[in-house]
Structure 1
């Protein structure tokens, strides 16, 4: 006889420490939901309740849940070769094939791939590689990494230190040194920070094309062009954190395509496998890769056990095949317009909606007490709205960092117009209730 729900919750309380969760809430209330099944944009919990997964779980289930093709790809690869090391120049076919595919779909001369197990490792790898690059170039003072306020780059030590959301940095009392922050939407601020720190001390600038966990903040059309010029002027490497925005999320293969910018390094993860396997990495420009080869005189002393994991790479290849075969990037662009239309309707008709924004299938709704004065509620209402949405079968996410009162959305790229309308309808019903209070 199988375990009952109470037994599962008790075991969860005793043995499972949840990431980015309230430890006290877990102990007093138990797991909010124990999911047992997923299909397309939907998740089902242990009680059989159906939810619209309007966050693609963690911005990553791009092709939707329950794709048997990916399970088959993993099974077939595991049956042949589940794992082999890629240290000491050992290799495997799926890793080589995936590296070639990634080089072909990224913009410009982005060409060579270093694999990791996820986004935090990808970002930490980028910081180490750019610092190593400058050491090889004889400019050891170039070690500072500049990131943006409201940015999120992961929770490994370097990634935490680069993250512009202060609560993540306050979690620990010993951050990595040599990380600086610039205003998230001002190119002038970047120049000011570079000048203040000394250009000869700055290794790289890192930015998300659209800031995800920080509240879906979208830069002005010219921002990244200006940033690229500034980086070139001061000989600073430009890292694009495409962990969330890659693989179709914004309606293009990679988010920086919207701005016509080719970075020196791209960090990726999440959508590369749609969450069906743990995989991430960094893609280097051909120029940067060739310089590293030319200048290197010793072993590249950086690598993870699962770098180039054969089964994960096989899953990624099948995932990318599905994205292309089903034209999911085009669908993200089209459904993104429908999402924006629905968000703007909420902004027009609901007095507590201060502003809305989206790019592709990344959207945000900001709440205010009084729209005319932009006065905020004494206590953010976004968490309450998220809780009400969950009760109505909709999973979304609250962002309350840096005095924000916002919910964000990022549904799978397979979503259709009727499902977009359903999401907007659920949120609208909740907002009507809140306005009556």
Structure 2
């Protein structure tokens, strides 16, 4: 073997022995080792140590919005780290990048979302929103308002609170010890939502949390008037509306934030992922001016909630540069245009391949569902086979099989070109064709 082959083999063994992977089959990792050990990325492409190049059709974890290998972000990080990498933001301490990023985000967000609490990622952002909502009602003299309503097929993260709010049953079954006061309702049924509120008692509900487009749950796009009805229900019963824009924020759907498609402004908006395009960990919660004013007026002591890296100077500097790139390169509009192209092409695949039962998407979030020749679910699901075949052909996508779904999901970087979108469609079509012929005919 060459030295490089020896090095790769050594890393594979070290991976199996020492690296407990997130959201991975432990058995598969131990038997097969890492599928890829990536070492470089450029644009929409990733290359592993063996020289294999793949299109990153998922923006890694829905987050590499401006693509891989952006030296501008590396330079921003280096410049800020050389001046001040980190300092605490507790006890009114602050730093320039955190202040400027908070202002920039609220300028981009729909009014009246005017204040930002920074976290290190999406799970922390959602947990923060639940805690702020409950704290808000304590200050308002309504301590019984502590229940959070979430939806089926939702995903809000894997910290304890975020897991407890996640509607994908498998994540909640990972540990049977969940946080209390989380309730679930069918993801698009406002009648069921109203009935649940009435059954639990409106005076006990702190907030409703919802993704504008359900991402990890299979890219489920809300019906046209769904969120307007949800907002009306929240207003009627005095309940806060929290939107989880961890995936949909910063251009992913063809607008800066997903809720803009529905003309609804939440009381709190969680964000992460695209804020730095994954180059550094950062997330947060925006709150409305009314909530911020109430917190200022009613609070008498310390806000006893904060993460070590809340307002991390270097992370915020990268966030500012990332937003600058999104604006400069008109990536929100590109996400809209390429998303329309992607959805139209997926409809064409549906017309060509009989196992594709449905196609849906918004901006650069898209999904295909699969059924067998009798229009029944495949047993076992077909999407993992398509995922593996697509990887062989040079495309990273995602298979969703939770909640009895059989779905392939795509979410490429917002920098993707028309020609690169066509490459994704070609590879995916060939992968589906191969699986359809080899496995199910």
Same fold (TM over 0.5): yes
1:201-212 correspondence to structure 2 within 5 Å: 201-212=204-215
Match of 1:430 in 2: 431
- In 2, Cα distance between equivalents of 1:376 and 1:26: 27
- The CA deviation at 1:69 is 0.3
Q: Secondary structure at 2:172's aligned position in 1?
A: helix
> Residue in 1 aligned with 2:14?
11
Match runs of 1:317-332 below 5 Å: 317-332=320-335
| Equivalent in the alignment of 1:407 | 408
* Alignment partner of 1:195 out of 198, 204, 208: 198
Counterpart of 1:281 (choices 259, 280, 284) is 284
CA distance in 1: counterparts of 2:14 and 2:401, whole angstroms? 31
Question: In the TM superposition, what are the counterparts of 1:30-41 in structure 2 within 5 Å?
Answer: 30-41=33-44
- 1:419 match: 420
Q: Which runs of 5+ in 2 are unaligned?
A: none
Counterparts of 2:51 and 2:200 in 1: how far apart (Å)?
Answer: 55
* 1:59-109 residue CA offsets vs partner (Å, 9 max, x unmatched): 000000000000000000000000000000000000000000011000020
Deviations 1:259-279 (A, max 9, x none): 001000000000000000100
The answer on 1:245 being equivalent to 2:248 is yes
Residue 360 in 1 paired to residue 397 in 2? no
Bigger drift between 2-11 and 242-251 goes to 2-11
- Tell me if structure 1 keeps the 8 A contact 2:389–2:435: no
Aligned to 2:392: 391
The answer on 1:112 being equivalent to 2:115 is yes
Matched with 1:219 is 222
Cα deviation digits, residues 334-387 of structure 1 (max 9, x gap):
0000001111101111100000011000000000103xx531112101001000
Aligned to 2:100: 97
Aligned positions of 1:106-255 closer than 5 A: 106-255=109-258
* TM-score (norm. length: structure 2): 0.98
Q: CA deviation at 1:435?
A: 2.7
Matched, 1:305 2:308: yes
Q: Are the aligned partners of 2:38 and 2:47 in contact in 1 as well (CA < 8 Å)?
A: yes
Shift of 1:16: 0.7
Match of 2:354 among 351, 355, 361: 351
Q: Give the 3-state SS of the residue equivalent to 1:324 in structure 2.
A: helix
Structure 1 vs Structure 2 CA RMSD: 0.9
Please give the residue correspondences for 1:18-33 in structure 2 after superposition, counting only pairs within 5 Å: 18-33=21-36
Q: Deviations over 1:240-266 (max 9, x none)?
A: 000000000000000000000100000
Output one character per residue of 1:264-306: Cα deviation in whole Å (capped at 9) or x when no partner: 0000000000000100000000011000110101100000000
- Cα shift readout 1:14-54 (whole Å, capped 9, x = no counterpart): 11110000111111100110000000000000111100000
How far did 1:436 drift? 2.2
Q: Which runs of 4+ in 1 moved over 4 A?
A: none
Secondary structure, aligned partner of 2:287: strand
